[in-house]
Amino acid sequence: MRNVIVVGCGRVGSRLADMLVDAGANVSVVDMNPDAFDNLGRSFNGSTIQGIGYDEDTLVKAGVEDCDIVAAVTRSDNANLMVTEVASRLYGVPHVIARLYNHEHERAYMQLGIDYVCGTTLVAEEVFSKVLSGHGSHLDTFGDYEVLRFSMDLSWDEHKAIHVSEIERDHDIRIIAFERRDGSASSIPTGESTLYHGDTVLACVHHNLIDQFSKYIQA
């Protein structure tokens, strides 16, 4: 059973918290406005904490020291970013997810290794799917396969580059598309295409192979 903190109890946060409780998670919800907790369903049996979501004392009250996942889904990109930074860097929460309003910040989030959901509809459902998958970079599930979007990590390779055919052969995955780190080009690759450290990659991976493939995903 996962311990999850949801920061923000508006339409998205309350919907997400109710879904997580129904799925058996231990959920704590944080919001500055105590009236926001009225958005939670009658069946919600988690905890509610009034306070600022990126405040350390508030997060400790919510259980961040024994937390598996923090989802920051307030209406402020800056607040959501601060929540994820505090949760991951100060408390080592293994999976943090931020709601992102401004599409122009997507590349920066990717390069920082921040897992996020961008949009205004079905945000709660998308975050819920990421929570259930148990890892960052998750976009969707098709049977035994997961579609991932991530920033390429080749920091351990002296050449900082690798052929698509080598990754697909060694890890039994399919690279669907990629974009250069600086946004200068994007492409559907061939086996001879070269990926570089920091490139954004869209890939389809069998869920049993995600752990061994994780060395390529910037954390």
Token reading at 140: 């969707």
pLDDT digits (tens, 9 = 90+) for 143-191: 677 788 888 889 887 888 999 999 888 887 899 999 898 877 788 999 8
Give the pLDDT of residue 71.
Answer: 93
Counting Cα atoms < 13 Å in the Cβ hemisphere of 22 gives 11
Give the pLDDT of residue 219.
Answer: 59
Give the pLDDT of residue 30.
Answer: 98
pTM: 0.65
> What kind of fold does domain 142-216 have according to CATH?
Alpha-Beta Plaits (3.30.70)
Task: Indicate the helix (H) or strand (E) that contains 31.
Answer: strand 26-31
Pick left, alpha or beta for residue 102 (phi over 0 → left; psi -120 to 50 → alpha; otherwise beta). Answer: beta
Give the pLDDT of residue 107.
Answer: 72
Q: From CA 219, how far away is CA 217, in angstroms rounded?
A: 6
Nearest to 81 by CA among 45, 108, 63: 108
Tell me the domain boundaries of the chain.
3-135, 142-216
Neighbours of 209 (CB within 10 A): 15
Instruction: Tell me: pLDDT of 207 over 80.
Output: no
DSSP 8-state code for residue 175:
E
Q: From CA 75, how far away is CA 83, in angstroms rounded?
A: 12
pLDDT digits (tens, 9 = 90+) for 48-99: 999 999 999 999 999 999 999 999 999 999 999 999 999 999 999 988 988 8
Token reading at 28: 């704590």
> What kind of fold does domain 3-135 have according to CATH?
Rossmann fold (3.40.50)
Counting Cα atoms < 13 Å in the Cβ hemisphere of 201 gives 30
Token reading at 11: 């339409």
